[in-house]
Amino acid sequence: MMLVRTRVAPSAIHGMGLFAVEAIRRGTPVWRFELGFDREFTPEQFTALSAEAQTHLRWFAYVNRETGGRVLSGDHTCFMNHAPDPNTGAPPDSTLPIVTVAFRDIAAGEELTCDYWAFDAEAREKLR
């Protein structure tokens, strides 16, 4: 669940992106998994879904490196694009449940980015 105000708009990185509506200070929590709002599908639940639902999850969910489950956010987090030098992410000393933060000050209107390699077991497929 996004913890800061955002909007979806065309991205210079790829397709659509997620943009800050207002300035975000370094260290501000920007996302956390919210049970009941966000959902993690176990590998067994994923394979039981229709082909169309699986296609949707392959594109919009990330694969949790710890559980192998597919995590689907209940909001527009799925529009956050990858960057090699992202402005959001989990601090190195993070413990579960993970809360991502702003790595630096982010201006209003700036695109929020993350490092897919840091958390998505399918980063290689998504970044082709």
- pLDDT band per the 50, 70, 90 thresholds, residue 93: confident
Query: Is 63 within the bounds of a domain?
Result: yes
Using the predicted structure, report yes or no on whether residue 8 has a pLDDT greater than 80: yes
The pLDDT of residue 128? 82
Mean pLDDT of the chain: 94
What pLDDT is recorded for position 7?
98
pLDDT in tens, 10-40: 999 999 999 999 999 999 999 999 999 999 9
Q: Is the dihedral of CA 50, 34, 9, 127 positive or negative?
A: negative
What does pTM read for this prediction? 0.91
pLDDT, one tens digit per residue, over 57-88 is 999 999 998 899 999 999 999 999 999 999 99
Structurally, how many domains does the chain consist of?
1
Q: For the domain that residue 120 is a member of, what is the CATH number?
A: 2.170.270.10
In a domain, 111, yes or no: yes
**Residue 78 forms part of a structural domain:** yes
* Domain of 74, in residue numbers: 6-126
Which residue(s) pair with 120 in the sheet? 64
Amino acid, single-letter form, for residue 114: C
Q: What is the mean predicted confidence (pLDDT) over 110-118?
A: 96
- Evaluate whether residue 46 is within a structural domain: yes
* Secondary element (H or E) of residue 74: none
How far apart are the C-alpha atoms of 104 and 116, rounded to whole Å?
A: 18
Residue 1 is assigned to a structural domain of this protein: no
